[in-house]
Amino acid sequence: MLQSATHPHAKSPIGAAPDLPLAAYRFMLRARLLDDKFAALYRAGKIHGGVFLGRGQEALSAAIGVSIQETDVFAPLIRDAAGRLAFGETIVDAVRTYLGSALGPMRGRDGNVHRGRPQAGYLPMISHLGAMVSVVNGVLFARRMKGSSGMVGVACLGEGATSTGSFHEALNQAAVEKLPLVLVVANNQYAYSTPNDRQFACADLSAKAAGYGIEAHPVVGNDLSACLEVVGRAVGRARAGHGPQLIVASLLRLCGHGEHDDAGYIVPELKNSPLGRDCLKLAEKFLLAKHFTNTAQIAAWRGEAIREIEDAVAQVQREPTPDPFTEDWSALATEHLVEGYE
Amino acid sequence: MSSITYLEAIREAQAHALRDDPRVFIYGQDVGAFGGAFKATKNLAKEFPGRVLDSPISEDAMVGLAVGAAIEGMRPIIEMQFADFSTVGFNQIVNQASTLFWRTKVSCPITVRLPFGGTSGSGPFHSQCLEAIYAHYPGLVVLTPATVEDAYSMLLSAVAINDPVIFCEHKLLYYHLKAEKLPSEALPIGKARIAREGRDLTVVTYSAMVHEALVAATELATEGWEIEIVDLRSVKPLDTDTIVASVARTGRLLCVGEAWPWGGVTAEVIARVTSEGYGLLDAPPQRLNAKDTPVPYHPNLWAAHRPTAHSIAAAARNLLRQ
């Protein structure tokens, strides 16, 4: 589903070829700018409900998006704007969902990060954490039954979701069925406000993989080239038939849980640690040091993205909002089984 | 003459669905080579290789997998070993499966089979009636067949419906209820059935309680009362027209359910009849449900916990005297 970027299968180390990191960086940049716009619209009172940003998690998310293909399955979570764009979501779809446009994929029936196009393998999350993993399993399971092979499914979670029963059931199920599932856990140190030491007691979440009989891939989540290398390897292993892969990325959320949250609970020691460094700035530094790009090019990309985002917002703000009088108030696909309560 | 049981009808419906539609598969605990805890999938794994599969003990992931497969165009049948255990998969049923179509326009044709209801000695965790909690959620169809013929035809319909269906099959009917042959035609889903005609009082009920009500009606007939029995077949959608038409004939309504008394199907029926057919009632409508405790283990307690032909007849007499 990559639109503007090519999709190289890097055989050489990531740092040696510019295409993939550059493509990933551009999605990171676009996601950051899109998030910034949503935050501004939220502060201006233009968005109903919450706004949830991926600030600090773009490197990991973009690495996922550029490592998979249009024919794969992707179940992103709330901090995956970059991965969504890389998987093919348009900025207009994202804006339409946040602003509740009747023309968006969710038609005002669901909002913000709850968006997707299931028939394109892009699954819209429900709020119950861990619940999407077995749904990804189901898509992979069905495709295998129909004779497809070579695809992977990626499900994204935070470390908080590793405490749920759904996580355990689905990971075990994928392992039993040897499904090509790549489960990405972004350990951003806090599940809303709850720190790691109140969430789990193991020294390293990737150690959980052994208990399920699957492969583990720890990675430093704010290092774009590390993410590209590790995610690429895990996706490759799953695609080659080696069963489920667990990626655990260490990073720090550089914002609140949502824009309503000032994140006062994040301790300074973490903010000042290597985990607290902004992945977008690190990626920029890396790309410039490698001479993969230059500051003028980055400025041009930034300007392009801002224009595209502003145009999308201006367009969507003129679009119709859902109309309760013409809304089809039925939750069933089978019309004759719908009950009238008028 | 050979006969077929309610359980065999369920097995036959699944065999039929597997044979007719390559999109159908069955996934559940012990459903494979073992043939299921109740043998509802006996020999199906052998007959349909790779399409009748054992799952881990993971009700949440079982339903989640079914939803993913449905997105991919399949028509999975999930067997919960007992309805009671479906609460572990409750989230996937009521938040994932039931919202998918409304949120995304992608339909979710999954069938979740719930072997439900009380049997002697089964106790608090193998006896529950959960139709009302599923019927409460938008986006689900909830079926409760009372006969061998309906068990067969309604399960075939459930698989064909483009929405998630909660198929409540009563364990007490599995072995005892028999028919001469499988039906070739059936009432559509959403239509109730008049199980017995009468002019004095309407009993609205479903599933195993239809048979208790029939026994009660036979007993009351010896006293000169003609009881009409409406078998709902489907609790969601609920066939209000057939119910109200029956009450119009009899003027008296008794709703009987094996489920717990707070809210639920019997309360819904009474709410609808009082709002749509108030003038048809000659006496206040009544309801009879299980007691408001977990389902007890000992047969003495269990028999007193649920409505029976005896308690239905007693409730009907009280209502007929009003």
How confident is the model over B65-123, as pLDDT tens digits?
Answer: 999 999 999 999 999 999 999 999 999 999 999 999 999 999 999 999 999 999 999 99
pLDDT of residue A14: 58
Reply yes or no on whether the pLDDT at A9 is more than 50.
no
> Residue B188 domain-assigned?
no
Query: CB A139 to CB B68 under 8 A?
Result: yes
To probe the interface with A, which of B72, B78, B85, B134 has the most A CB atoms within 10 Å? B72
Domain range summary for chain A, segments of one domain joined by +: 16-317
Query: CB A337 to CB B190 under 8 A?
Result: yes
Give the largest CA-CA distance in chain A.
66
Give the rounded percent of residues in chain A with a pLDDT score beyond 70.
95
Same domain, B89 and B172: yes
A134 and B CB contact within 8 Å: yes
Same domain, B199 and B313: yes
Residues facing residue A342 across a β-bridge: none
Q: Assign residue B163 the CATH number of its domain.
A: 3.40.50.970
Contact B309, B219 (CB under 8 A): yes
Looking at the annotation, which residues of B are catalytic? 126
Same domain, B261 and B213: yes
Q: What is chain B's Cα-based Rg?
A: 19
Same domain, B317 and B197: yes
Residue of chain B whose Cα is closest to the Cα of A330: B102
- Residue B168 C-alpha, separation from nearest chain A C-alpha, in angstroms: 17
Residue of chain B whose Cα is closest to the Cα of A116: B104
Picking from B76, B88, B138, the nearest residue to A331 by CB comes out as B138
Query: CB B68 to CB A134 under 8 A?
Result: yes
pLDDT of residue A99: 97
Same domain, B197 and B285: yes
The pLDDT of B130-144, averaged and rounded, is 98
Query: CB B69 to CB A141 under 8 A?
Result: yes
B160 and A CB contact within 8 Å: no
How do residues B280-307 score in pLDDT, each as one tens digit? Answer: 999 999 999 999 999 999 999 999 999 9
Token couple for B74: 């399949």
B158 and A CB contact within 8 Å: no
Buried b or exposed e, range A86-117, using 16+ CB within 10 angstroms: bbbbebbbbbbbbbbbbebbbbbbbbbbbbbb
- Chain A CB contacts of B92 under 8 Å are 131, 134
Reply yes or no on whether the pLDDT at B276 is more than 60.
yes
Same domain, B243 and B286: yes
Same domain, B211 and B293: yes
State how far the Cα of A143 lies from the Cα of A149, in Å rounded to an integer: 8
State how far the Cα of B301 lies from the Cα of B318, in Å rounded to an integer: 24
- Residue A20 C-alpha, separation from nearest chain B C-alpha, in angstroms: 30
A339 and B CB contact within 8 Å: yes
B216 CA to centre of own chain: 20
Confidence of residue A15 (pLDDT cuts 50, 70, 90): low
Picking from A137, A330, A334, the nearest residue to B68 by CB comes out as A137
A201 and B CB contact within 8 Å: no
- Residue A339 C-alpha, separation from nearest chain B C-alpha, in angstroms: 6
How do residues B172-220 score in pLDDT, each as one tens digit? Answer: 999 999 999 999 999 999 999 999 999 999 999 999 999 999 999 999 9
Query: CB B163 to CB A334 under 8 A?
Result: yes
Query: A16-317, superfamily in CATH?
Result: Thiamin diphosphate (ThDP)-binding fold, Pyr/PP domains (3.40.50.970)
Query: CB B68 to CB A119 under 8 A?
Result: no
Reply yes or no on whether the pLDDT at A13 is more than 60.
no
State how far the Cα of B96 lies from the Cα of B196, in Å rounded to an integer: 39
The pLDDT of A49-62, averaged and rounded, is 97
pLDDT of residue A57: 98
Query: CB B61 to CB A173 under 8 A?
Result: yes
- Chain B CB contacts of A126 under 8 Å are 95-96, 99
Residues 312-331 of A with CB under 8 A from B: 330-331
How do residues A300-323 score in pLDDT, each as one tens digit? Answer: 999 999 999 999 999 999 999 999
Reply yes or no on whether the pLDDT at A6 is more than 80.
no
How do residues B10-30 score in pLDDT, each as one tens digit? Answer: 999 999 999 999 999 999 999
A292 and B CB contact within 8 Å: no
Name which of A12-16, A18-22, A287-291, B16-20 the model is least confident about.
A12-16
Same domain, B21 and B162: yes
Query: CB B71 to CB A138 under 8 A?
Result: yes
Residues 13-52 of B with CB under 8 A from A: 25, 50-51
Reply yes or no on whether the pLDDT at A10 is more than 80.
no
Picking from A118, A137, A337, the nearest residue to B65 by CB comes out as A137
- Chain A CB contacts of B154 under 8 Å are none
- Residue A186 C-alpha, separation from nearest chain B C-alpha, in angstroms: 21
Picking from A109, A138, A169, the nearest residue to B102 by CB comes out as A109
Same domain, B206 and B118: no
Q: Which amino acid is at A326?
A: T
pLDDT of residue A340: 79
How do residues A90-129 score in pLDDT, each as one tens digit? Answer: 999 999 999 999 999 999 999 999 999 999 999 999 999 9
Reply yes or no on whether the pLDDT at A342 is more than 70.
no
Count the domains in chain B.
2
pLDDT of residue A12: 46
Same domain, B56 and B197: no
Token couple for A173: 């199920």
Helix (H) or strand (E) holding A93: helix A91-99
- Residue B308 C-alpha, separation from nearest chain A C-alpha, in angstroms: 31
Same domain, B161 and B295: no
- Chain A CB contacts of B161 under 8 Å are 334, 337
Order of all β-strands in the sheet with B141-143:
B52-54, B24-28, B75-79, B111-116, B165-170, B141-143, B234-236
Confidence of residue A18 (pLDDT cuts 50, 70, 90): confident
The mean pLDDT value of chain B amounts to 97
Which ranges of chain B does DSSP label H, i.e. alpha helix? 6-20, 44-47, 59-71, 90-91, 98-104, 131-136, 148-160, 173-176, 208-221, 240-250, 264-276, 299-305, 309-321
State how far the Cα of A122 lies from the Cα of A109, in Å rounded to an integer: 17
> Residue B199 domain-assigned?
yes
A43 CB-near residues (< 8 Å, 6+ apart): A259
Domain that includes residue B232, residue range: 193-321
> Residue B53 domain-assigned?
yes
Mark which of B116, B148, B179 sits at the end of a domain: B179
- Other C-beta atoms within 10 Å of B91: how many? 21
> Residue B152 domain-assigned?
yes
B162 and A CB contact within 8 Å: yes
Query: CB A126 to CB B66 under 8 A?
Result: no
Contact A313, A255 (CB under 8 A): no
List the Cα angle A267/A272/A277 in 5-degree steps.
115
Residue of chain A whose Cα is closest to the Cα of B72: A139
> Residue B186 domain-assigned?
no
pLDDT of residue B2: 74
Which ranges of B161-282 does DSSP label H, i.e. alpha helix? 173-176, 208-221, 240-250, 264-276
- Residue B310 C-alpha, separation from nearest chain A C-alpha, in angstroms: 34
Residue appearing with tokens 């119009």: B248
B320 CA to centre of own chain: 28
Strands B178-179 and B24-28: unpaired
Helix (H) or strand (E) holding B77: strand B75-79
The mean pLDDT value of chain A amounts to 95
Contact B23, B76 (CB under 8 A): no
Mark which of B145, B179, B213 sits at the end of a domain: B179
